[in-house]
Chain A
Amino acid sequence: METNQITETINMVAEEHLDIRTVTMGISLLDTIAGTPQETAKNIYQKITTYAKDLVKVAQQIEREFGIPITNKRISVTPIALIAGKASPDDMLYYAHALDDAAKAVGVDFIGGYSALVQKGFANGDLSLIKSLPRVLTETDLVMSSINIGSTKAGINLDAIKLMGETIKAITDKSDTANAKLVVFANAVEDNPFMAGAFHGVSEADVVINVGVSGPGVVKRALEKVKGEPIQIVAETVKKTAFKITRVGQMVGSLAAERLGVEFGIVDLSLAPTPARGDSVAEVLEEIGLEMVGTHGTTAALMLLNDAVKKGGVMASQRVGGLSGAFIPVSEDAGMIDAVKAGVLSLAKLEAMTAVCSVGLDMIAIPGETDATTIAAMIADEAAIGVQNNKTTAVRILPTNGTKVGDIVDYGGLLGTAPVMPVVQKSSADFINRGGHIPAPIHSFKN
């Protein structure tokens, strides 16, 4: 073995923030459904605490043996709206607390899957779940929620979008930070290990281990060595780096699955930033040649980055899944925050970037007085980008009461801090209030 290989690996972890961002255990709850919400809640607690009891311990031991940090240990479950089909909004609290209690009992960081899939319409459980969100997200600590409101196959549920705009406002009235635990998707994926959007799809095996790997710092450092080279060299360098990072995820994931006695699902290779300097996607884009992220050329650089990450990752793993690409949350990325503060990165540019990144408008603070229909219209725009382009898009937006444009809101820890961004001051209410359903695009009819 070459000494420089050893040094390279050690530096990636020590200096470039390479980490396994998450080991997420997906658990199906389909076999927990019982006659009453209370009984079902008991079964949910039982199943999660049985399968995930060693998750944290096993992850910590792997961290030790390989010398690579596993930042988060998480659980994702079957969308709860499917489990709680007959429940009322009040009943939903039983389910939410069962998840929260189970997550605390096994010591994981978050539990995802307080979710509903309503791209084509609502069932009773979906509506109960959405109505319960203001209480659930403020009365539980570790429960994360996602709502899928559109898909390329089904089109866009404008009624659901309207309801989500109102729900996000209602959550804001109870808490400044709880909306960080809620994401509104189009084309949600079923094996995503990242939060807030992780849930365990119904077509998944009973229990699986999915892994999310990250390392924007590693990519940036690699690109520093090819300054001034033609752009295809940038793509090649990102590909090779993504390959190396994904290999680590593959190894850790399969070992964790083996030790926990469950199936190994997928590796999600996503460049997910953290607020730490040197762990930023914005800095990678700037290294490609932009003075500051948000300037002209940002979308093109991001497209190259996102695509090269996927290409490198696909070769390195048995099964690549989840969202795989580059995340562009504002509050969690030091470079993005700088660019917003400098007035260089706007909401409009972020929206354009979501057409070529792996997710969407993420962790963006807006003034608390923003109208529910305006928030809904933002969700509709994002859904349109996702549905039309066959990709996942998402909105995790944080209206914050009592703030004005330019104020800084602190969400704590990995969620970071966000400058409040300006929103266009013209109404979209008549559009949103039409309600109904935007038909699926013509290219979805492939049968």
Chain B
Amino acid sequence: MAKAVVTVIGKDKPGIIAGVSRTLAEHDINILDVSQTIMSDIFTMSMLVNLEKLDEEFNKLQNDLNHLGKQLNVEIHTQREEIFDAMSRV
């Protein structure tokens, strides 16, 4: 089972969490953990999500979230979890 981290950074407005969650639900992806904060008007959220497997589905999800990011005018990154672990753990 693979995991991915979805991060959202941008100016706060209604509908960001709703939009991201809806897209994830459409792809049948479970959210494992969420951390969200507003730092001087900037919305920052990281979500840990479950991926059944890494294949075409990952690319489709990433495309959809990138598209959503453009619509909401925020930056959305979808990356496999390992990259964050690799850098911070021996």
Contact = CB atoms under 8 A, between A and B. Distances in A.
A9 B83 CA distance: 8
Interface string B48-64: 10000010001100100
Contacts of A445: none
A414 interface: no
Question: Which of A61, A64, A244 has the most CB atoms of chain B within a 10 A radius of its CB?
Answer: A64
Contacts of B21: none
Given A6-B5, A6-B7, A67 B46 contact: no
A69 to B, nearest CB: 12
Question: Which of A1, A8, A248, A315 has the most CB atoms of chain B within a 10 A radius of its CB?
Answer: A1
Contacts of B80: 65-66
B5 A1 contact: yes
B87 interface: yes
B23 interface: no
Contacts of A5: 84, 87-88
Contacts of A1: 5, 46, 48, 81, 84-85
Contacts of B82: 66, 251
Interface string A230-252: 00000000000000100110110
A67 B84 CA distance: 11
Contact of A3 (B46, B59, B85): B46
Interface in A3-20: 3, 5-10
Contacts of B54: 65
A447 B87 CA distance: 41
A67 B88 CA distance: 16
Interface in B20-77: 35, 37, 44, 46, 48, 54, 58-59, 62, 77
Contacts, number: 56
Contact of A65 (B37, B48, B58): B58
A244 B86 CA distance: 8
Given A1-B5, A6-B5, A6-B46, A66 B87 contact: no
Contacts of B9: 10
Contact of A244 (B58, B81, B87): B87
Contacts of B44: 3, 7
Question: Which of B35, B46, B78, B83 has the most CB atoms of chain A within a 10 A radius of its CB?
Answer: B83
A247 B9 CA distance: 25
A207 to B, nearest CB: 24
A68 interface: yes
B5 A247 contact: no
Nearest to B4: A65
Question: Which of B44, B58, B81, B82 has the most CB atoms of chain A within a 10 A radius of its CB?
Answer: B82
- The 4 A-B pairs of least Cβ separation, nearest first, read A67-B79, A247-B86, A244-B87, A66-B83
Interface of B: 5, 7, 9, 35, 37, 44, 46, 48, 54, 58-59, 62, 77-88, 90
